[in-house]
Structure 1
Amino acid sequence: MTHPSLAEYGGIGDTLTGAAILPISTGLYGYRRLMRDRHPTAWHIVTPDMSAPRGHVPIRTK
């Protein structure tokens, strides 16, 4: 299906409206994040290192 109305998702006007709203909302989110919240853009979430400490050998139990 190449036309949105065939799948009952609305017409071409609804598709173009959604395609216009998406970059506008993304830009406004970036503005709020950088200018208002004063936080840099993070492309990943920093998590603590949960690996075993050096020299530590886990105990095997059977």
Structure 2
Amino acid sequence: MIPDFLNLFANAPGQLLVEGVAAGSEALFMARGMALRGGIGVFVASDDASAQKFATSINFFDPNIEIL
């Protein structure tokens, strides 16, 4: 499932909205998807704790992603 989704993500033209991803896997999908698409991503967290958890997780999967 993950490789199929990532191929769809990588090949989708223009902007892409991804929602309903299993909790805890958002950072993996975002890091891999951004690497495949070579672009910029936006993650909207529901609260500060979720934002910090996501930032820590995405840094684990790709430490070169800049968090603003």
TM-score by length of 1: 0.27
Higher relative contact order (CA 8 A, sep 6+): 2
Greater share of helix residues, 1 or 2?
Answer: 2
